[in-house]
């Protein structure tokens, strides 16, 4: 995990680190900031996320 700014994906309930291309799950309102729990994002997903801003 880096100190990059995280993006919140409301639909997927994930916190996204674009630098690492990792999506951390939010379980019962609590972000799980553990790298093994995170989902690896595809380049496409990152691009999509960027365009939403
Ligand atoms: Zn990071």
Bin 4: left if φ > 0, else alpha if -120 < ψ < 50, else beta. Answer: beta
**Distance, CA 47 to ligand 1 centroid (Å)?**
16
Residue 51 DSSP one-character state:
H
Burial letters for 1-26: b for 16+ Cβ neighbours within 10 Å, e otherwise? eeeeebbebeeeebbbbbebbbbbbb
Determine the structural domain holding residue 30 and report its residue range.
Answer: 6-51
Domain count, the chain: 1
Residue 1 within a domain: no
CA of 34 to the centre of ligand 1 (A): 11
Query: What residue ranges of the chain have pLDDT lower than 50?
Result: none
CATH number (domain holding residue 45)? 2.20.25.10
Residues 6 and 22 sit within 8 Å (Cβ to Cβ)? no
Report the largest interatomic distance among the alpha carbons of the chain, rounded to a whole angstrom.
27
Total-model pTM: 0.82
Q: Distance from the CA of 22 to the center of ligand 1, in angstroms?
A: 7
pLDDT value of position 49: 78
């Amino acid at each position: 995990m880096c100190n990059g700014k995280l993006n919140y994906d409301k639909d997927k309930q994930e916190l996204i680190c674009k630098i690492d291309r990792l999506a951390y799950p939010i379980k019962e309102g609590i972000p799980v900031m553990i790298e093994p729990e995170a989902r690896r994002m595809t380049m496409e997903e990152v691009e999509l996320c960027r365009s939403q801003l």
